[in-house]
Amino acid sequence: MCGPITNAGLIVKEGFGFEDGLFTGYNEESRSYDQVELGLRARRAGLRQGRRHLAQHPRCVINLLRKHVDRYTPEMVSRICGTPQDKLPGRSAS
């Protein structure tokens, strides 16, 4: 039986970007991403160079994801979903 599969340890090609709420390679007609344009390298950085290297590579999927979600402040999340900030997970009422 296979374990969980993730692309978190893959390196995204140079030039990959995020603009106007969409990542590079989005096709409006099919409403999907072109996997070739996304450019995930087949080698897993963590397997060849160790987990420490994985965490340091700026184009590693997990690091790009962290950068993407960092912009979601409690204020923004509350505004988008309508949930009061003190009801968000990890937040307590003052």
Within a domain: residue 1?
Answer: no
* Structure confidence at residue 45 (pLDDT): 42
**pLDDT one-digit tens code per residue, 2-18:** 555 677 777 777 877 87
Within a domain: residue 94?
Answer: no
At 20, the pLDDT band (50, 70, 90 cuts) reads: confident
pTM assigned to the model: 0.60
Within a domain: residue 31?
Answer: yes
With CA atoms as reference, report the closest residue to 72 among 30, 5, 9, 21.
21
* Number of separate domains in the chain: 1
At 77, the pLDDT band (50, 70, 90 cuts) reads: very high
Within a domain: residue 50?
Answer: yes
**Separation between Cα atoms, residue 29 and residue 42, nearest integer Å:** 27
Within a domain: residue 32?
Answer: yes
Within a domain: residue 5?
Answer: no
Domain range for residue 58?
10-87
Within a domain: residue 4?
Answer: no
